[in-house]
Amino acid sequence: MSYQSELYQQVILDHNKNPRNFRELTDGTHSCDGKNPLCGDEMTIYLNINDDGIIDDISFQGSGCAISKSSTSMMTTNLKGKSVDEARVMFEEFHKMILGEFDPETQEHHLGKLTIFMGVREFPSRTKCATLPWHTLACALDKKQETSTED
């Protein structure tokens, strides 16, 4: 017998175990430290954005639960090569999807495989785990140094 879960799907577990782009970006153009003080999750997002506003490279480092780690990992794989404007649209859609205010099953979206996190809607105590990387991304794009889910 094992746990059947909408939340912990294989893709999520895989990204938790083998996070992609899990490294520091020493020559990046943007970075931000994100914290979830309730959980103790901490992560840094690094970006390298070129003159055309395209995300050439994106990476992260930090520690956290499976949801925050896999959400960050998948965010990085989905944002590479996208423009800053596209990233902001995806942040908006992802955030609303987690809050249950946006339904990618019926509405047009730009989230790709990130819709796998839709299950987090059913776990209100875990929504901040999934959205932490996106808040940290927005903070990095705004050229701020740090952010917190409690701000």
The H or E element spanning position 57 is strand 55-63
Query: Which is nearer to other proteins, 8 or 110 (by Cβ)?
Result: 8
Nearest to 60 by CA among 68, 52, 116, 95: 68
Residue 90 CB, shortest distance to other proteins, in Å, is 24
Interface ranges with other proteins (CB under 8 A): 1-3, 5, 7-8, 13, 16-17, 38-42, 63-67, 123, 125-126, 129
Query: Edge-to-edge, what's the strand order for the sheet holding 146-148?
Result: 55-63, 41-49, 30-36, 146-148
CB of 138 to other proteins, least distance (A): 23
CB 42 within 8 A of CB 24: no
Find the shortest distance in angstroms from Cβ 54 to other proteins: 33
Is the Cβ of residue 40 or residue 112 nearer to other proteins in the bound state? 40
Cβ proximity to other proteins, 30 vs 126, nearer residue: 126
| C-beta of 38 vs 99, nearer to other proteins | 38
**At 146, is the secondary structure helix, strand, or coil?**
strand
